[in-house]
């Protein structure tokens, strides 16, 4: 079993084919949930003597009074939408036996299912005809581009389905004399597992109504409503029962076909009714995972006590391959190990020697977003072990007690914990569009800022710390929806806007020396952020910029000139603005002085000492916010669709370039390295997913994606997962120099997949 990041043949690189197997033991709590009162019982239907429902993708039947349920089907595919025949002897259902959704029937007492439809489009059971000779189902087989559905009937004895005389229909129920059909013509919501889900309390143009059609001439009577989502019509005698969210939660209502009035059949308890079905003398419905029986004669309901027992392979102790389930990743400070979130667990993986280490090993809890502290001691992540997400911090070796920090009320969903360089604080965001930072010792979150608009998970802050842990840079939307760069000071507790908001900024990062702040900005991104079809496939480019943080600091892009070296006047003070940090330490000194310095210390020793000093010294970051927008310079980098900017060692930047227009395929990115001193760009990697730089700036963890063939999409519709690798950050590069747009040089060393 591969369990490490193997060293590559070129010795500069490490790759991972992560096939770690996780062991998930069943606990008494899990067993109780899968056999007794906490089961999720779906799509019930009722006859005079039995209730049928779907659980775990299979069909079950139980007496109307409740008790121990009996399994009817056990195929690996999904069986759902059961509906009893009028006489209660058969059950029609939607089955996935041969990889496609089709109409099946099975005896209520058990037996071999019989397939009734064979069309490649999904055929989904809706009900029966009143005589019990045909099954009513919906299908998109006869519609243009499957944009809407129609209702069909198919005989139990076989033959071709017949379409009902309605232009579109999603659900339906026959009147007692079969002359009319109460139906839903279209819907914004569907319960199908592989389809979109509509917005709750949606009130737009596709909010679903219930109509009553006269089948002889297709004339329509509309059930009174304003803009609610009505569904699941059930015709009993002179009344049509249906589900509606017109008063808030989804509840059961009655439409009287004689008085033309609508009334609530049940008093709402605040919980949605997810599905319902009518039998000869009762209505059965699903609410919060349990099954209830409603008596129309008395207007009363009760919960049906049901137990389901079985082998349930998904909850028995078993191994899981998690190599293709990696959701988030990070790298240790020196690149010795990587940390992954996979299948709700946090695992660390060695480059070469050692085993995969499962730090959490929890059952029934989800751990997410691991982050390794720069001092190498701690790994932080979010966990819902307590029922609500909290921040957990534990030793990187998995030993010792876990520090659990509550993140305040109301509870929320959190994103992207990022350690400060001193390993004492963490910045993170939440689903309520807030940005926070937390002192680990104090354990109290501090609010930084709030985004005015939702930009998706994490709301696009992309926060980064300054080298001295005193400042947090991030991007936030303005009222115009364009993003600006902000810098928050922990000491003054103030968020300072750095850019003017006339362009859309993204992905800021501090230089390791603390003198500069870098970011991307785009002036053609406006149409792409509009919430309309005008944003569809709009080309976007971004350029890179640098902010000189101090007003007396020299520009890093000042004109370069080769000059004769002249000994400096030792009596003169060394002005800050005259310091050229890109020059070697001995450059600018007269030859004798430089030679003496070299002979005294030795070239290699001096270089080693300089490297150690750089690692130990933490620069104090000073920012002059007055007229800071006048100290923003464009970097000599070609404009492309960059989406991520990372800082490595001093003056080194790593830019991730995505496709200029995303055609909905897997997004493989190109990684470029830019040296501020030489002002040259190298192409490092191609077709990359995730990309991370270690805290010491020397190693990178990245995901090398496989080549994607649009003609052969991967199973499940998901893009292919790649191979994770750790290597020295500059081990592979394609030199293409300066701002040149073309290159014919091939990589020095390529990733092994």
The stretch 385-397 carries a mean pLDDT of 96
Report whether pLDDT(585) > 50.
no
**What is residue 164's predicted lDDT score, i.e. its pLDDT?**
97
Dihedral sign, Cα of residue 721, residue 726, residue 730, residue 731:
negative
Lowest mean per-residue pLDDT among 226-240, 563-577, 732-746: 732-746
pTM as predicted: 0.77
**What is residue 144's predicted lDDT score, i.e. its pLDDT?**
83
**What is residue 455's predicted lDDT score, i.e. its pLDDT?**
75
The band of 8, judged by pLDDT with boundaries at 50, 70 and 90, is: very low
Lowest mean per-residue pLDDT among 347-356, 527-536, 574-583: 574-583
Which 3 state secondary structure label does DSSP give 532?
coil
Rounded Cα–Cα distance for residues 116 and 670 (Å) = 51
Q: How many CB atoms lie within 10 A of CB 344?
A: 21
The parent domain of residue 82 ranges over 28-313
95 occurs within a structural domain? yes
**What is residue 505's predicted lDDT score, i.e. its pLDDT?**
94
Q: Quick: pLDDT tens for 481-507.
A: 899 999 999 999 999 999 999 999 999
Cβ contacts of residue 461 below 8 Å, gap of 6+?
429, 435, 449, 451, 474, 475, 476
C-alpha atoms less than 13 angstroms from C-alpha of 518 in its C-beta half-sphere: 28
Cα dist from 186 to 26, 178, 183, 189, 723, whole Å? 43, 21, 9, 9, 44
**What is residue 12's predicted lDDT score, i.e. its pLDDT?**
31
**What is residue 664's predicted lDDT score, i.e. its pLDDT?**
57
In contact, 423 and 377? CB cutoff 8 Å = yes
245 occurs within a structural domain? yes
How many residues belong to the chain?
753
Report whether pLDDT(703) > 90.
yes
The band of 740, judged by pLDDT with boundaries at 50, 70 and 90, is: very low
Output 663 or 417, whichever has higher pLDDT.
417
The stretch 652-669 carries a mean pLDDT of 82
Nearest to 81 by CA among 240, 276, 250: 276
Q: Quick: pLDDT tens for 247-282.
A: 999 999 999 999 999 999 999 999 999 999 999 999
CATH number of the domain within which 271 lies: 2.120.10.60
**What is residue 713's predicted lDDT score, i.e. its pLDDT?**
55
The stretch 433-458 carries a mean pLDDT of 91
The stretch 471-476 carries a mean pLDDT of 97
Number of structural domains in the chain: 1
Average pLDDT value over all residues in the chain: 85
435 occurs within a structural domain? no
Report whether pLDDT(180) > 50.
yes
Report whether pLDDT(86) > 60.
yes
137 occurs within a structural domain? yes
Dihedral sign, Cα of residue 477, residue 483, residue 484, residue 489:
positive
Cβ contacts of residue 63 below 8 Å, gap of 6+?
49, 50, 51
**What is residue 189's predicted lDDT score, i.e. its pLDDT?**
65
Rounded Cα–Cα distance for residues 97 and 83 (Å) = 18
φ, ψ of residue 413 to 5 degrees: the values are -110, 135
Strands 306-307 and 67-68: parallel
Strands annotated E in 271-419? 273-278, 283-287, 290-295, 300-303, 306-307, 318-321, 326-331, 337-342, 345-350, 357-358, 367-372, 378-383, 390-395, 403-405, 414-419
Report whether pLDDT(6) > 60.
no
Report whether pLDDT(733) > 70.
no
The band of 112, judged by pLDDT with boundaries at 50, 70 and 90, is: very high
Report whether pLDDT(125) > 90.
yes
Report whether pLDDT(528) > 50.
yes
Output 205 or 185, whichever has higher pLDDT.
185
Write down the H helix ranges in 93-189.
none
Cβ contacts of residue 11 below 8 Å, gap of 6+?
none
**What is residue 379's predicted lDDT score, i.e. its pLDDT?**
98
User: In the structure encoding, which two tokens stand for residue 365, read together?
Assistant: 């809890």
């Amino acid at each position: 079993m591969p369990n490490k990041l193997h060293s590559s043949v070129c010795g500069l690189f490490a790759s991972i084919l992560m096939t770690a197997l996780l062991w998930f033991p069943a606990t008494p709590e899990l067993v109780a949930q899968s056999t007794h009162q906490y089961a999720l019982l779906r799509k019930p239907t009722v006859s005079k003597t039995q209730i049928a429902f779907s659980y775990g993708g299979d069909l079950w039947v139980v007496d109307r009074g409740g008790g121990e349920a009996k399994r009817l089907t056990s195929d690996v595919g999904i069986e759902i939408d059961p509906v009893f025949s009028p006489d209660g002897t058969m059950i029609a259902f939607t089955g996935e036996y041969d990889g496609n959704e089709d109409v099946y029937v099975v005896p209520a007492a058990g037996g071999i299912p019989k397939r009734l439809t064979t069309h490649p489009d999904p055929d989904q059971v809706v009900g029966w005809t009143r005589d019990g000779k045909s099954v009513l189902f919906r299908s998109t087989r006869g519609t243009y581009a499957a944009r809407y559905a129609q209702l069909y009937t198919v005989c139990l004895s076989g033959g071709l389905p017949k379409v009902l005389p309605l232009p579109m229909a999603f659900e339906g129920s026959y009147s007692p004399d079969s002359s009319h059909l109460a139906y839903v013509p279209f819907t914004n919501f569907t319960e199908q597992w592989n389809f979109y889900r509509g917005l709750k309390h949606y009130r737009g143009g596709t909010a679903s109504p219930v109509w009553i059609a006269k089948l002889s001439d297709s004339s329509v009577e509309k059930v009174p409503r304003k803009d609610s989502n009505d569904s699941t019509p059930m015709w009993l005698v002179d009344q049509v029962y249906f589900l509606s969210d017109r008063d808030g939660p989804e509840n059961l209502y009655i439409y009287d076909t004689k008085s033309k009035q609508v009334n609530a059949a049940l008093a709402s308890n605040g919980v949605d009714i997810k599905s319902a079905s009518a039998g000869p003398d009762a209505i059965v419905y699903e609410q919060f995972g349990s099954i209830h029986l409603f008596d129309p004669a008395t207007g009363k309901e009760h919960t049906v006590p049901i137990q389901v027992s079985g082998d349930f392979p998904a909850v028995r102790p078993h191994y899981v391959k998690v190599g293709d389930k990696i959701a988030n990743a990070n790298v240790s400070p020196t690149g010795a190990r990587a940390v992954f979130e996979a299948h709700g667990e946090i695992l660390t993986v060695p480059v070469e020697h050692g085993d995969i280490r499962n730090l959490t090993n929890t059952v029934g809890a989800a751990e997410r977003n691991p982050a390794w502290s720069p001092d190498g001691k701690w790994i932080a992540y979010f966990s819902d072990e307590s029922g609500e997400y909290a921040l957990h911090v534990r030793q990187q070796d998995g030993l010792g007690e876990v520090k659990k920090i509550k993140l305040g009320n109301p509870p929320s969903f959190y994103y992207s914990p990022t350690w400060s360089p001193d390993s004492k604080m963490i910045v993170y965001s939440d689903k309520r569009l807030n940005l926070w930072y937390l002192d680990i010792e104090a354990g109290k979150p501090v609010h930084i800022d709030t985004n005015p608009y939702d930009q998706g998970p994490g709301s696009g802050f992309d926060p980064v710390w300054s080298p001295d842990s005193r400042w947090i840079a991030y991007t936030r939307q303005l009222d115009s929806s364009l993003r600006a760069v902000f810098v928050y000071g922990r000491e003054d507790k103030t968020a300072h806007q750095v850019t003017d908001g006339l362009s859309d900024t993204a992905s800021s990062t501090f230089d390791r020396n603390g003198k500069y702040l870098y970011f991307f900005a785009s002036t053609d991104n406006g149409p792409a952020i509009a919430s309309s079809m005008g944003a569809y496939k709009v080309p976007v480019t971004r350029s890179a910029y640098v902010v000189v943080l101090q007003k007396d600091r020299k520009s890093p892009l000042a004109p370069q000139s080769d000059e004769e070296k002249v000994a400096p006047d030792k009596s003169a003070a060394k002005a800050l603005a005259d310091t050229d940090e890109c020059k070697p330490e001995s450059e600018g000194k007269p030859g004798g002085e430089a030679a003496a310095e070299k002979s005294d210390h030795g070239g290699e020793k001096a270089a080693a000492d300089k490297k150690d000093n750089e690692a130990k010294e933490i620069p104090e970051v000073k920012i002059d916010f007055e007229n800071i927008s006048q100290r923003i310079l464009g970097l000599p980098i070609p404009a492309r669709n960059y989406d991520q900017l990372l800082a490595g060692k001093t003056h080194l930047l790593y830019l991730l370039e995505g496709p200029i227009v995303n055609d909905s395929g897997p997004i493989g990115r190109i990684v470029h390295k830019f040296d501020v001193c030489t002002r040259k760009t190298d192409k490092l990697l191609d077709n990359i997913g995730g990309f991370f730089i270690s805290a010491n700036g020397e190693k990178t963890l990245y995901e090398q994606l496989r080549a994607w063939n649009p003609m052969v999409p991967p199973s499940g519709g998901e893009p292919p997962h790649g191979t994770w690798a750790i290597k020295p950050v500059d081990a592979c590069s394609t030199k293409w120099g300066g701002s040149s747009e073309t290159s014919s040089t091939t990589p020095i060393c390529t990733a092994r997949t």
